[in-house]
Amino acid sequence: MIGSPCAWGATLSSLLSSGKSHLLGVSVGIAVALIALVLRYPASTVPMTVATILLFCAVFAYVLSSQENIKLLREQLARQELVFVDFGLKLDETGSLSAWAANLGTSSFVVSGVDVRTQERSTSQRCPVNVVVPAGKLKSKIPFDDRIFDTLRSDAFVHFDISLRCDGLVENHQTRWKGFTVERRPRRQLEEGFTGLWGVACPKCSRFDFMGMRTEGLPNLDSAWRRQTQLENDLRASCPSHRSALLLPSNGKKQLVGVS
């Protein structure tokens, strides 16, 4: 194991981390040994050759470690300019929605747009905004054009997801999509993830029978649409009994409609 790269790396790092005194002691020892060798054999070229080789090794080790440090420094600098953001939505007392963004990085960025998709409309719609989020700060109340919900058919629940467009120093960052549900009646309520009924119909017989998809743990609409496709395949395959593990447990209402 002594000869393995791991062992050598550990030895080198322990040598470097044990401080300058250790290295100094070793180098003084080598120098003394070389001087003694020269005094003992003045005509020999061996001490000079050994000294040259040792010097070469020391320089080589130094160059290697400096290169590693420079690489680390560069990576650190590049990382400092990247955008790291967490975000979400909140509902105020008046029932209007606004986005919030927390800057978890070390340089400021501008939130330049809030992209919105809904269950019914998969193409995203961008609400342009212009809000600077300084490093280490949270910006709440990023204006959010929630008229998008008024144009939808009047369901009790609106399933949608949002993604923020953040312009940083060196990159324009598009966040992941995050799903939310707005319940419209009796009063507006906001929940993270998808709640309420996500209705599905059998693609074979077109019956929907108040069938709902399980929506727990879905982070965004992409994953919900994927699960819906999977569920519809199950329904088609099991038609007319309509069975799937992705279906919400049946209730009295479903039984009633299913029988009629």
User: What does the binding site for Zn ion look like in residue numbers (CB under 5 A)?
Assistant: 202, 204-205, 239
CB of 227 to Zn ion, least distance (A): 18
Name the residue nearer to Zn ion (CB basis): 159 or 242: 242
Name the residue nearer to Zn ion (CB basis): 101 or 235: 235
For CA atoms 214, 220, 223, 225, the dihedral sign is positive
At residue 168, what is the residue type? G
Q: What is the rounded distance in angstroms from the CA atom of residue 70 to the CA atom of residue 10?
A: 21
* Helices assigned H by DSSP within 18-119: 20-40, 46-80
CB of 211 to Zn ion, least distance (A): 10
Q: What is the rounded distance in angstroms from the CA atom of residue 48 to the CA atom of residue 40?
A: 13
**Which of 172, 221, 166, 175 minimizes the C-alpha distance to 198?**
221
Name the residue nearer to Zn ion (CB basis): 79 or 253: 253
CB of 223 to Zn ion, least distance (A): 24
Name the residue nearer to Zn ion (CB basis): 149 or 208: 208
Name the residue nearer to Zn ion (CB basis): 215 or 244: 244
Name the residue nearer to Zn ion (CB basis): 178 or 242: 242
CB of 248 to Zn ion, least distance (A): 16
Nearest-CB residue for Zn ion: 202
Q: How many CB atoms lie within 10 A of CB 242?
A: 24
C-beta separation of 119 from 212 below 8 A: no
Q: What is the rounded distance in angstroms from the CA atom of residue 32 to the CA atom of residue 224?
A: 74
CB of 215 to Zn ion, least distance (A): 21
Q: What is the rounded distance in angstroms from the CA atom of residue 176 to the CA atom of residue 162?
A: 8
**Secondary structure (3-state) at 52:** helix
CB of 239 to Zn ion, least distance (A): 3
C-beta separation of 122 from 175 below 8 A: no
